[in-house]
Structures are given as C-alpha cells and as structure tokens.
Amino acid sequence: MSSFQMVLVPLLAAAALCALPAGRFARAVAVAAGLLESVLVVAQAVARGPGGIPTERFEWAGPLAHYAVGADGFGLVLLALTGILFAAGAAASRRVAHPRGYFALWCLAQAAVSGVFVAQDLVLFFVFWEAMLIPVALLMWLWGGADARGATLRFLLYTMAGSALLLAGIVSLVVVRGTSELSALALRPLPEADQTLVALVFVAAFAVKLPLFPFHAWLPRAYVAAPPPVAAVLSGIVAKTAAYGVIHLCLPLFPAGMARLAPGLVALAAVGTLYGALLATRQHDTRRLIAFSSLSHLNLIGLGVFTATAAASQGALVASVSHGLVVVALFLLATLLAQRVGGWSLADAGGVAASAPVLSAFTTLAVVAAIGVPGTSGFAGEFLILAAAYARFPGAAVVAALVVVVAAVYGLRLIRHAFHGPARAQIRDLGGADRLILAPLLALILLVGVVPTLVSDRVAGPPATPASAGAPR
C-alpha cells in the first residue's frame, strides 16, 4: 500500500480533525499532513529510483473498476508538490472561521488530489477526479469572498460538464476493452480511426480543469472569490491534475488520436499563453493579475503537454513544479500585502519597499521566477517547453515565446506599482512565521532553477511514447 499512503495520510488527518475537541491545533494537523506526505514521497522516490512505485491492485467494484494504485516519476514529483503546497497553504490560512471544518475539507481536497496522482485504473482516476470538486467547492462557497456563490457555481458547472464527458469516454472505452486498468489498456490501444473522438472527449475534461484557452471563463472569478490559500492550491496543484491527466492517460492510450489533435490544441495553448499574459498587463487587482498570469503559465504547460515529445513532457513537469511553487508564493505574498495596505488594488499600495524590505524582496523574487528570468525555476520550464515545441510546431512556439516580453511587462508593473515610487503607506514587514512559510518555497524555486535535473530526471526515458507507458510499472 506504499502509494495509497499518500491518500491515507490526509484522509486520516481529516478524520482526526473531526475528532478534535477544539479548533486550536487544526492548522498544525493540516500542515503536518502535507509535510508528512511530501516526506513520504521523497523517501519512496529515493528508495525506489526512477521507476516509481509499482502498481498494486485490489478488488473494488466488479471487473471494470479496481483499486489499482502506483506512481511513476511524473506522479511522484507532483505528489511531493501536493504535500508541500497544501502544507504551505494550510500554514498561511490563519484566523479562519470554523478552523476544524476548514482544515478537514482542506485535508480531503489534499487526499483527492493525491488520489488522482496514484490512480492506475481509469474508473478510480475518475473517482478521485470528481472527489476533488466537493471539498474545493465547499471551501470556496463557505469561506470565500463577496462573489463566492456565483463563482463556485460557475466553477462547479464548468468542471462537471467537462468531467461528464470524461465519464462517458471512460465508460465506453472500458466497456469496449473489457478492462479499466491503465497498464492493460495501454497494451491494447484502440484502432487508430477511433482514437480521435475518444481522445477529444478526454481532453475536453482536462481542458476545462487546466484551463486551456478558451475554456477559462471560470478562472478569474474563482481565483478572486476563493480564499487566497484555496485559490493558491487550486492554481498551484489542482490545475496540474489536468496536465498530468493528459500525459498519464491521453498520450499512452490514444497516441494516434492525440497526434491528430495536437496542432489544434497546441495552437490554442499558444494563443492562451499570450492572451493570459496580455490580460495580466491590464489588471489592477493583484488577484486578477495573478489569475491571468496563471492562465498564461498553465497554457504554456499545456503547450508542453500537447507537444507530446519526451523533452516537452520534461519541460511541462519542471514548469508545473515551478508554477506551483511560484503561484502559491505569489498568492500568499499578495494576501500579506493586501492585509497591510488594506485592499487588493495596485493603487492601494505604492512605495512600500522602504518600510517592508523583506516583503518586497520576496515578492520580487517570486515575480522574477514567474516571468522566467534565468536562474529561477520559471526559466528552466519555459525554456524546455519552448525549445521542444519549436522542434515540432515552430509557429505556435514563436507565438508563445512572445510571452517572455509580455510577462516582463506585467511582472515589472506589479513590482513598480506596489513597492516602488513615492511611499503611500508605512507598513509592517513580514513576521517570522510568514518568513518561515515563504522562505522554503522561494528556496525551492531557486533550487529547481539552478538544478532543474532534480525534477526533470524523475521522468525516466521518454514518457510520452506508448511503448514505455505500457511497460509494467
């Protein structure tokens, strides 16, 4: 059960939270669950080497649904990221109302996300995929801001429409093939002519969750309305389940279908990359700025995923890790800034670098990573993806590469308006606890930037070819 531990740890934490007599230690329990998960993952990764955790299977619900769990290199990296980001988000969720409920849902969300990364059975994958929805939606609905209801409903209906199609695709595939296990399915792909339609149905669900341009209408509202830590993990890791889904399910199961869809998907991703960045330059609310910059980054990850070469997948992995760390750091920093200056608008802040040098330095580092300056993790992922995409789809890569310029515009605009210029306010600098949460995230950003092979080498061999995906893991 070594890979099921990753689901079990947060589940047990959620149960423990329900049993706690009071909410005093709730945050500590949630943080511990996240940290414990990442420690377990790293231990497993070190012990098992690049092959990941082999798949174990148990009976569950008849011949077409098993508890089959395991993790490949890609999954392990994202599992470790899950633990780290959920721990950071929980640590930053200070002074929430009804902490036991909040952190129990938080741990349930963590369990479901981890489940997506360990499921090696299509139906089980779908179960965890859908199970992510309810805790995240409840967190948004109950602890969200002014627009929480509309934003939550829109988020729910968009993602459920996508996953309804995914379910239809999974059911028809599983029934036709007589098995729901990924390893068995990958060994017997559908006839090439049938692959395109099923691949399209699968991609529809992932495109909404990522979100791929133009399926992003839920994103800005949700990111603004959700509590900032929830928005952070929603963007930092929940969105990555979509990229993982494409790499883990679509590419091995429908290689020919994905190849046929690739030009269109890559074009959308390239447009989305640029579009998100352009919109980000026009935002005044820092949350919306981060939301659109995330849209840009997530579409860039999509570009890597849909390019579907080994190098592009490695790039998508590095970019996923990088964006996860960066966006969580940015959301937390933006929250701290907003609390200090009394509003989310860029106009509220200004010149606070003088009074809050550490906040300013941390934010600058996170922004620099977001716009992909060499030496940060952002650069490594962006470069790998663009280089790999250029080899197959030069036109799309060129369009997407323009993002480097536009990202600098919105990034530097944020820094300049918030931290420099005439000082509008005197604010407190970061406290010790905040530094403790943010410093490890920023250290990881630099570490991955300097040694990207730490992450990219976890994907052993070319991951995107059916031969290696079909090999028993």
Partner 1 sequence: MTLGDLLAAAPLIVLAGGACLVLAADLVVRLPARGAAWLGAAVAAVAAVLAARLGPGTAGFGGALERDGGALFFVALVAVGAAGALLVAGDYLAREDLPPAEFVALVLFSATGAGLMAAGGDLLVVFLGLELLSLPLYALTGLLARARHADEAALKYFLLGAAASAVFLYGVALVYAATGTTRLDVLARGATPPDPLAFAGFALLLCGVAFKAALVPFHAWAPDVYEAAPPPATAFMALAAKTGAFAALLRIQAATSGGAVAAADWRAALAAVAALTLVVGNLAALGQRRVRRLLGWSSVAHAGYLAAAAAAGADIAAPFIAFYLVVYGTLSLASFGLLTLLPDDDPTIDDLGGLFRRSPLIAVGFVVVLVGLTGLPPTAGFLGKLYVFEALAQARLLWLLIIGVLASVVSAAYYLRVALACFAPSTAEATPMAGGRRLAGATVALATLLSLALGLAPLALLDLVRQVRY
Q: Shortest gap between Cβ of 142 and partner 1 (angstroms)?
A: 5
Structure-block tokens of residue 329: 């750091």
List 1, 28, 43, 176, residue binding partner 1 (CB under 8 A): 176
Q: Which is nearer to partner 1, 10 or 236 (CB)?
A: 10
The residue written with tokens 């500590």 in the block is: 28
Regarding 142 and contact with partner 1 (CB under 8 A), the answer is yes
Regarding 253 and contact with partner 1 (CB under 8 A), the answer is no
The whole-angstrom separation of Cα 411 and Cα 283 is: 11
| Burial track 426-462 (b if 16+ CB lie within 10 A, e otherwise) | ebebbeeebeebbebbbebbeebbeebeebbebbeee
The whole-angstrom separation of Cα 136 and Cα 398 is: 36
**Backbone φ, ψ for residue 462 (5° rounding):** -70, 115
List 62, 191, 432, 472, residue binding partner 1 (CB under 8 A): 62
Structure-block tokens of residue 424: 């509008």
Give the H or E element holding residue 442: helix 432-450
Regarding 141 and contact with partner 1 (CB under 8 A), the answer is yes
Of 170, 270, 262, 155, nearest to 216 by C-alpha is: 155
Q: Shortest gap between Cβ of 121 and partner 1 (angstroms)?
A: 13
Would you say 80 and 118 are in contact if contact means Cβ atoms under 8 Å apart?
Answer: no
List 45, 116, 133, 258, residue binding partner 1 (CB under 8 A): 133
Count the helices and strands in the chain (H runs, E runs): 23, 2
Regarding 59 and contact with partner 1 (CB under 8 A), the answer is yes
For residue 56, the SS3 value is strand
- Write the binding mask 15 to 54 for partner 1: x where contact by CB under 8 A, - elsewhere: ----------------------------------------
Neighbours of 20 (CB within 10 A): 15
Binding segment for partner 1 (CB under 8 A), chosen from 58-66, 227-235, 333-341, 440-448, is 58-66
Size of the site for partner 1 (CB under 8 A): 34
Q: Which is nearer to partner 1, 138 or 361 (CB)?
A: 138
List 33, 65, 247, 326, residue binding partner 1 (CB under 8 A): 65
Regarding 168 and contact with partner 1 (CB under 8 A), the answer is yes
Structure-block tokens of residue 215: 């399926």
Q: Shortest gap between Cβ of 104 and partner 1 (angstroms)?
A: 11
Regarding 259 and contact with partner 1 (CB under 8 A), the answer is no
Q: Point out which residues bind partner 1 (CB under 8 A).
A: 59-62, 64-65, 123, 126-128, 130-131, 133-134, 137-138, 141-142, 149, 152-153, 156-157, 160-161, 164-165, 167-168, 171-172, 174-176
